[in-house]
């Protein structure tokens, strides 16, 4: 199937679709990279809930983390991988195809 005739729903990604994971992807897509604590505050999630969702995204290869010491504390920075960006953008396209033109 060519790119023009591909089913737009093909990009629907159940891993990205979960509301909190979708929000994490949206934030990281916009920010490029964000500290775990900032993501937690922005999304209003507990550290444990965010950690579980980030782990799922990391296991899928969608998010990577970078650890660095800042102000004598270890900080974790999150960013979407190229695969994660593609999955997120494909999922958005699938959602737009589902809801139709506005």
Q: Where are the domains of the chain?
A: 10-99
Q: Which residue has the higher pLDDT, 74 or 78?
A: 78
Using 50, 70 and 90 to split pLDDT, how confident is the model at 2? very low
Distance separating alpha carbons of residues 10 and 7, to the nearest angstrom: 5
The answer to whether the beta carbons of residues 11 and 93 sit under 8 Å apart is: yes
Q: Select from 1.10.1740.10, 1.10.10.10, 3.40.1480.10, 1.20.1090.10 the CATH code of 10-99.
A: 1.10.10.10
Determine which of 23-37, 61-75, 83-97 has the lowest per-residue pLDDT on average.
Answer: 61-75
Using a cut of 0.85, tell me whether the model's pTM lies above it. yes
């Amino acid at each position: 199937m060519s790119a023009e005739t591909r089913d737009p729903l093909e990009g629907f990604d159940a891993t990205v679709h979960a509301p909190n994971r979708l929000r994490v992807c949206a934030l990281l897509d916009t920010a490029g990279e964000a500290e775990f604590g900032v993501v937690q505050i922005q999304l209003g999630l507990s550290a444990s809930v965010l950690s579980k969702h980030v782990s799922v995204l990391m296991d899928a290869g969608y998010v990577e983390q970078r650890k660095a010491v800042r102000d004598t504390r270890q900080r974790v920075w999150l960013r979407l991988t190229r695969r994660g960006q593609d999955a997120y953008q494909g999922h958005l396209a699938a959602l737009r195809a589902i809801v139709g033109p506005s």
